[in-house]
Copies of this chain bind each other. A is one copy, B any other.
Amino acid sequence: MGLMSPEQYKESLNDGRVVYYKGEKVKNVVTHPDVSVCVNLMAIDYEMAENPEYRDLAVVEDLETGESISRYYHKPQNAQDLLKAFELIVKATELGDGAIPFSHDIGADTMNAITITANMMGNKDYVERIENFRKELKKKDLATVAAVTDVKGDRMMRPSDPGQAHPDFNVRIVNKNDKGIVVRGAKIHISGAAYCNEILVIPCHAMSEADADYAVAFAVQPNTKGIRQVCRPFTSHISPLDFPNTRPLRVHTDSLIIFDDVLIPWERVFLCGEWKFTGPMVYNFALMHRRTGCAYRIPMTEQFVGAATAIAEYNGVIKASHVKEKLIDLVIYLETLKSLSKSACYDFVMRSGIAVPNPIATNMAKYHFASKYHDMVRIVQDLAGGIVVTAPTYKDFRLPELHDDIDKYLMGNRNISTENRLRMIDLIRWITRSEMENIAIHAEGSPMAERMTIFMEAAKLLKDCQKLAEELAQVKR
């Protein structure tokens, strides 16, 4: 046992799981032409652990057993732990060419949220179960994802509202017996679920008493009876129209997971009707997950900064004052994201023995990223020019009767070959694709979710400041 090798990880996936892709059932995710791309991306985490260059970042000694474990499964204790985990995600995403591998991070965020909640409840059973589960994850180094977002139905009604078309829009407990609980429902947007070892399921919002059956959290393996996944196909980058690029394609796919009366054994159940604790569980998960989100956006943003700088040079406009202004805006965007993310680590708060990133700073960092992302896309597209839409393809470029003319006419700065310019245009087309905009907004919660969290967290600050203003105005209450 111990750390899993990339090969062991891949072998572990051929376990009879039910996964659909483009209307067909996938025989083996590891050998499927599209899903294997995602598997290879997730495997990066396992490769890092074996690579001497990254081992210190990716692997730590377990405080209890002294064994080598993934840093992700270590409970953060201080600012340094948080900063190191942050650095690990940044580096892993760099190795994923801007895509986060996803094999442990969200799972770890969920583990920590469940641990905090179990301790808040003071429920020893839950505390013991989650600690046992953590030990197993550490020992087997399993790939773990989180299934959070329910399909929800009508957003203005509670899960149990009789006005809902049916009661299954949120995952719920339909039965309990001595073996465990039986759950039904569907989770959506679940990145990496088709090629992980464990799925950690938690609610996606706070529940009221009437919704107690929806207050449920558990771990489940993807090949468990009653689980089916439907994946959204990705649009492949490596088109014969693009310039050939030997770097592997790096994308994930997201699952709709259908739970068709799935039995979850008791030792894997971490919440079961305690509706008052859904709020804290979701909240703590969101918090840690948003920190994770900010980390992996840093390499993505560096690609924006880099592509913008490059194309400005290639087009020959790098000295124009409005171009400088645009690059400054990109730098401010990137560096603000870094500063707020690191501040969140420095100003951490302790919750049930776990160091949690500062709630206000974390939410500001994610909100900063999400709310201004489209502005950055605009800048990159503005600098790139209309050629992003109208450039001749690689197929045209290599056609003997056209090659020399395209090579002649599509040069910008004479120090840069036309091929290099068109390659950069290909990259810009790829990094500014619109699905990334949608993900920027919605991954880890929409901008409104972050704003509302900031408001809640700022309650004391608002009160303190009001008191200060009242002293200055000599208001006597």
Contact = CB atoms under 8 A, between A and B. Distances in A.
Nearest to A413: B154
Contacts of A346: 342, 346
Interface in A156-200: 156-157, 163-166, 168-169, 185-186, 188-189
A439 B386 contact: yes
A284 to B, nearest CB: 20
B472 A156 contact: no
A151 to B, nearest CB: 5
Q: Chain A, interface size: which category?
A: 35 or more
A57 interface: no
A140 interface: no
A225 interface: no
Interface string A394-420: 011011001001101111111010001
Contact of A393 (B22, B305, B342): B22
Contacts of A303: 465, 468-469, 472
A282 interface: no
Interface stretch (A63-71, A114-122, A272-280, A327-335): A327-335
A377 interface: yes
Contact of A306 (B254, B256, B468): B468
A442 interface: yes
Interface string A284-325: 000000000000000000110111011001011101111011
Contacts of A395: 22-24
Contact of A327 (B247, B367, B462): B462
A350 interface: no
A153 B434 contact: no
Interface stretch (A3-11, A42-50, A448-456): A448-456
Contacts of A313: 466
Contacts of A361: 335, 339
A424 interface: yes
A233, A247, A260, A437 — most chain B CB neighbours (10 Å): A437
A205 interface: no
Contact of A386 (B149, B230, B408, B423): B149
A473 B427 contact: yes
Q: Classify the secondary structure of A's interface with B.
A: helix
Interface in A360-386: 360-361, 364, 367-368, 373-375, 377-378, 381-382, 384-386
A364 B188 contact: no
Contacts of A224: none
Contacts of A420: 470, 473, 475-477
Nearest to A427: B473
B386 A310 contact: no
A127 to B, nearest CB: 33
A265 B268 CA distance: 80
A328 B433 contact: no
Contacts of A212: none
Given A241-B22, A247-B472, A434-B432, A385 B427 contact: no
Contacts of A336: 336, 340, 364, 368
A434 B432 CA distance: 7
A166 B405 CA distance: 12
A261 B417 CA distance: 24
A388 interface: yes
Contact of A390 (B189, B246, B320): B189
A53 interface: no
7 contacts: A153-B316, A156-B317, A188-B409, A336-B340, A381-B434, A420-B473, A426-B473
In the complex, the 7 A-B pairs of residues with the closest C-beta atoms, listed nearest first: A23-B395, A306-B469, A306-B465, A386-B442, A154-B316, A339-B343, A165-B414
